[in-house]
A and B are shown apart, each in its own frame.
Chain A
Amino acid sequence: MNAQALPMTDVETAPADAEAAFVGRLMAGEDAAFQELYRRHAGDVFRLACRFVYSETEAEEVVQEVFIAAFRYVGQFRGQSRLKTWLYRITVNRALKRRRWWRRRREVGADLLPEGALPLPGPDVRIADRQRLGIVRGLLDGLDARKRAVLVLHELEGLDTKEIADILECPRSTVLTRLSRARHELIDRARAAGVALEEG
Chain B
Amino acid sequence: MAAPFDDEGARREVDRLLAPLREAPGPEWTPARAARVREAVFARRRRSTSWRAWAFAAAAAAAVAWTLWPVAPVDDAGDVAAPVAASPTPVSPGDRLTAARMLPSGAEVEVAGAVRVAEATAAGTRLVLEGGAVTSRVPKLRPGEHYVVETPHARVSVRGTRFTVELLASGATKVHVTEGVVEVTPRDGRAAETVRAGGSLVVGPTPRASAEAARAAEARGDWAGAVRLWRAVAERSDDALERQNALVAAGRLLSHHDVAAAVDHWRALAAEARGGVHHEEAAFRAVEALRDAGRVAEAAEAERRFREAFPRSAYAP
Known contacts A104-B245, A105-B245, A200-B16; A115/B49 CB under 8 A: no
**B21 close to A104 (CB less than 8 A):** no
Known contacts A94-B314, A136-B18, A195-B17; A64/B41 CB under 8 A: yes
Residues of chain A within 8 A (CB-CB) of B296 are none
The residue that B17 contacts in the complex, of A86, A104, A177, A187, with Cβ under 8 A, is A187
Interface extent on A, as a size class?
35 or more
Least Cβ–Cβ distance between A185 and chain B, in angstroms:
10
**B27 close to A133 (CB less than 8 A):** no
Q: Map CB proximity to A onto B44-57 as digits: 1 under 8 Å, 0 otherwise.
A: 11001100000000
**A63 close to B37 (CB less than 8 A):** yes
Residues of chain B within 8 A (CB-CB) of A57 are 218-219
**B13 close to A197 (CB less than 8 A):** yes
Identify 6 new A-B residue pairs, CB closer than 8 A, beyond the known A133-B20, A180-B10.
A34-B45, A42-B38, A110-B242, A132-B20, A151-B14, A151-B18
Residues of chain B within 8 A (CB-CB) of A186 are 14, 17
Q: How many residues of B contact A (CB 8 A)?
A: 53
Residue B140, interface by CB 8 Å: no
Residue B60, interface by CB 8 Å: no
Residues of A participating in the B interface, judged by any CB pair closer than 8 Å: 29, 34-35, 38, 42-43, 46-47, 50-51, 56-57, 59-61, 63-64, 67-69, 71-73, 76, 86, 89-90, 93-94, 96-97, 101, 104-105, 108-110, 112, 114-116, 118-121, 125, 129, 132-133, 136-137, 139-140, 151, 155-156, 176-177, 179-180, 183-184, 186-187, 190, 195, 197-200
**B277 close to A104 (CB less than 8 A):** yes
Residues of chain B within 8 A (CB-CB) of A46 are 27, 29, 33, 37
Bound complex: CA A64 to CA B253 (Å): 13
Residues of chain A within 8 A (CB-CB) of B49 are 29
Bound complex: CA A90 to CA B317 (Å): 7
Bound complex: CA A111 to CA B44 (Å): 32
Which stretch of B155-163, B175-183, B185-193, B209-217 is in the interface? Answer: B209-217
